[in-house]
Structure 1
Amino acid sequence: MQHPEPNNNEIKLSSKRYIVSKTDPKGIIVYGNDYFVEISGYSEAELLGKAHSIVRHPDMPKIAFKLMWDRIKQAKNFIAVVKNLAKDGSYYWVVTDFEPKVDPITNEIISHTAFRKAAPRKAIDTMIPIYAKLLEIEQDEGMEASEKYLREFLEENNTTYDDFVNNLVGNKGLFKLFFTAMKKLFS
């Protein structure tokens, strides 16, 4: 399936609704809630069995997904501010919290569930120039250079990736309660 041509139409997400999708260990969609179907513009049949990258926006640097996969392959949570692409080329910004599910016997990852909420404007405005710079570096020098830039950025700001994102999206209080509640609902 070909990716749509991105346009400048932003889909404003409801702060009262959430997007949930579940993939197998390789990132193939096995479940999407109604809001995911609605916002993405794809039918449920078009989403199921497809790689989750079907909603990947070209403005997102590859390093963001490398960090995500490095983390979730170790069965660790990962929170990120992500720009996603809808079927019609529109885009929407989310805060995504990935929750890997591990088989209690084999200890292998059996699925990943992603819980998404509308990203705060402040987080979007902060990430746009960072992602643009990472993308530019990736195109000129490759992903390793992009990762090096990100590492140096975090060191200069005396923070870790997790702390940077948690502070950016306000992942505390009600926001944190939301993700905790969602995980209980879908586990």
Structure 2
Amino acid sequence: MTTTSASPLALHTDYIRDHIRTVPDWPAPGVQFRDITPLLQNPKVFRVLIDEFVHRYFDVRPQAIAGLDARGFIIGSVLAYELNIGFVPIRKKGKLPFTTVAESYELEYGSATVELHTDAVQAGDRVVLIDDLIATGGTMMAGKRLLEKLGATVIEGAAIVDLPELGGSARLRESGLPLFTLVDFAGH
């Protein structure tokens, strides 16, 4: 008798997926919001989630993890701590107190701007850019451009959730950004 077993990543992916709550019709009718709050509330699931990213980047050894405002801060700061490297916050416009560079991008309902301190990374730094979710890809693309303005190399974009039907992950890959996501959901 032959048995096959799922890879640890596949088992963890299912475990993580099972702890993502879907909130229908939020923030607008027809939207299926993927809420990662249950992942963060359960210490065992949160550990499994962080460990997936730690194992991914342990041997790659980036100089920093850059997290996108705001849920990218949660995952990114813990990941940076676990890898013993720096954490770089990419914030919404007007939230950083020092000299910044800015990048605007389009949203479904308008535009937004993110900023980064001018001394957040150095030329040549290898950085992983992380957020909780990839939808249209605008925020991650803006974060990538900010880091590159300062001379850093974004070695990979990472997220817990990908919503492939919204096209963001495809646009990011087409731009040359490698991506790593743990879970994808059909629909949005």
Q: Which range, TM-score by smaller chain? A: under 0.3
Report the TM-score, using the length of structure 1 for normalisation: 0.27
Task: Looking at secondary structure, tell me which structure has more strand per residue.
Answer: 2
Name the structure where helix makes up a greater proportion of residues.
Answer: 1
Using CA pairs under 8 Å that are at least 6 residues apart, name the structure with larger relative contact order, 1 or 2: 1
